[in-house]
């Protein structure tokens, strides 16, 4: 059997970062994704591209949405699709003629997913931005950083991928389930700012209750607690420890050679810095690998802090087959793992526009019609 989304057709207007991550998650679970690339992105000398994590599980057509024929081509594809995805600034797709009104007018059952940083409405809706800006406006960026230092950029995991792409994919699946019962599609307004804020909802609650303060590096989960922290080792590498519960904490202390009776009460924040300093001195006494030998695989809630390359080779990930072997680029398997209808990484398009003719023929376009569209520059 195919993945759980087998039979779901998705049209993706090519975007960057967050949007292809959303369609990737859908494709990994069996959706048939067709990406609409720009004609200008079709190479003059097309060469097969290596299998690519960003592109996998979809095909590519090239259309010029500034030409009536290109717009009509995309609208006809939408007539037989279940999902339509775009990540332009508010108002752009409407000007191009492929906005929600046009697409739902052709196919009232379609789920129209819109992904932006700030959302479709509000004073910032049409302003440019990137993941770091969206994280900053939520309060999350301000909450992560070293004691006495500035907030730290978080790659773009929270804004683009978790708060953006993953949130959009979740919204699509929810809307598809509803459409199955109602027979009606709807529009998804996925704002990365709101996606990040939803991920941080427990911390908003902790802040309101007084459990999490505004000072950096002085709270339970931000490096303030000695039992939820990262420590440097003798060889300049790092380990993570997180024995939050009392019985795990006692086991951890026994493993590192500290007597709990000689330490302040674990939740006495006034003495956290004292305990952190003791642990920091202890971890500097051995290399990271030596600490792995002593602590990894126990209930001390320990893990080495790895680089991306090291993570690929870690025995746990290798045992579970977490990474796809033999590819041109490091890729993870589709997650989460489903027992009966697991996902499949799928293949990548050969190049932007490589599948134009095949996709259009499958959707009922005739050979002469395709040739006419190409001659007017509507497709490439």
Q: What is the DSSP string of 310-326?
A: HHHH-HHHHHHT-EETT
> Is residue 51 pLDDT above 90, yes or no?
no
Nearest to 217 by CA among 209, 207, 233, 229: 229
CA dist 56 and 46 (Å) reads: 18
Q: At what angle do helices 167-182 and 18-28 cross, to 10 degrees?
A: 50
Q: Where are the alpha helices (DSSP H) in 100-245?
A: 100-106, 131-137, 167-182, 192-199, 201-209
> Is 271 among the residues known to form the active site?
no
Which two tokens mark 375?
């001659």
> Is residue 47 pLDDT above 90, yes or no?
no
**Could you give the percent of the chain with pLDDT greater than 90?**
90
Class assignment of domain 220-232+238-304?
Answer: alpha beta
How confident is the model over 100-123, as a mean pLDDT? 98
Active-site residue (options: 130, 271, 314, 317): 130
Q: How far apart are the first and last CA of the chain?
A: 34
Q: Length of the chain in residues, anyone?
A: 380
> Is residue 328 pLDDT above 80, yes or no?
no
Q: At the fourth CATH level, which superfamily is domain 9-199+326-375?
A: Crotonobetainyl-coa:carnitine coa-transferase; domain 1 (3.40.50.10540)
b/e code 224-251 from CB counts within 10 Å (16+ = b): bbbbbbebebeeebebebbbeeeebbeb
pTM: 0.94
Average pLDDT, the chain: 95
Domain ranges within the chain, ordered by starting residue: 9-199+326-375, 220-232+238-304
Cα-based torsion angle of the residue sequence 230, 232, 235, 241 in order, rounded to the nearest 10 degrees: -40
> Is residue 271 pLDDT above 90, yes or no?
yes
Active-site residue (options: 28, 64, 82, 160): 160
> Is 160 among the residues known to form the active site?
yes
DSSP 3-state percent helix, strand, coil across the chain (nearest 5):
40, 15, 45
Quote the pLDDT of residue 46: 85
CA dist 242 and 230 (Å) reads: 9
> Is residue 174 pLDDT above 80, yes or no?
yes
- Band (pLDDT 50/70/90 cuts) for residue 55 is confident
- Band (pLDDT 50/70/90 cuts) for residue 327 is low
């Amino acid at each position: 059997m195919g993945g759980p989304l087998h039979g779901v057709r998705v049209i993706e207007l090519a975007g960057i970062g967050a949007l292809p991550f959303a369609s990737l998650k859908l494709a990994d679970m069996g959706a048939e994704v067709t990406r609409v690339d720009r004609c200008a992105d079709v190479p003059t000398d097309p060469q097969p591209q290596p299998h690519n994590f960003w592109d996998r599980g979809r095909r590519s057509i090239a259309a010029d949405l500034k030409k009536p024929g290109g717009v009509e081509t995309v609208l006809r594809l939408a007539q037989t699709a279940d999902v339509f995805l775009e990540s332009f600034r508010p108002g752009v797709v409407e000007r191009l003629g492929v906005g929600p009104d046009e697409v739902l007018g052709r196919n009232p059952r379609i789920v129209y997913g819109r992904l932006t940083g700030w959302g479709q409405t509000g004073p910032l809706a049409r302003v440019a931005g990137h993941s770091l800006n969206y994280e900053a406006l939520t309060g999350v960026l301000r909450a992560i950083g070293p004691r006495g230092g500035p907030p730290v950029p978080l790659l773009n995991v929270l804004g683009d991928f978790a708060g953006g792409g993953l949130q959009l994919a979740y919204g699509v699946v929810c809307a598809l389930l509803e459409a199955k019962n109602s027979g009606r599609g709807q529009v998804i307004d996925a704002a990365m700012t709101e996606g990040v804020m939803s991920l941080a909802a427990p911390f908003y609650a902790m802040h309101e209750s007084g459990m999490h303060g505004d000072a950096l590096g002085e709270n339970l989960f931000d490096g303030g607690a000695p039992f939820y922290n990262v420590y440097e080792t003798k060889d300049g590498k790092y380990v993570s420890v997180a024995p939050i519960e009392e019985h795990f904490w006692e086991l951890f202390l026994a493993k590192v050679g500290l007597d709990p009776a000689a330490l302040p009460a674990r939740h006495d924040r006034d003495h956290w810095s004292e305990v952190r300093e003791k642990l920091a001195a202890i971890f500097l006494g051995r290399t990271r690998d030596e600490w792995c030998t002593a602590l990894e695989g126990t209930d001390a809630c320990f893990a080495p802090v790895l680089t991306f390359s090291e993570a690929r080779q870690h025995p746990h990930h290798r045992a579970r087959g977490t990474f796809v072997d033999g590819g041109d680029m490091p890729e993870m398997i589709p997650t989460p793992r489903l027992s009966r209808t697991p996902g499949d990484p799928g293949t990548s398009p050969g190049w932007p526009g490589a599948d134009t003719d095949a996709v259009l023929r499958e959707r009922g376009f005739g050979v002469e019609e395709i040739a006419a569209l190409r001659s007017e520059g509507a497709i490439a």
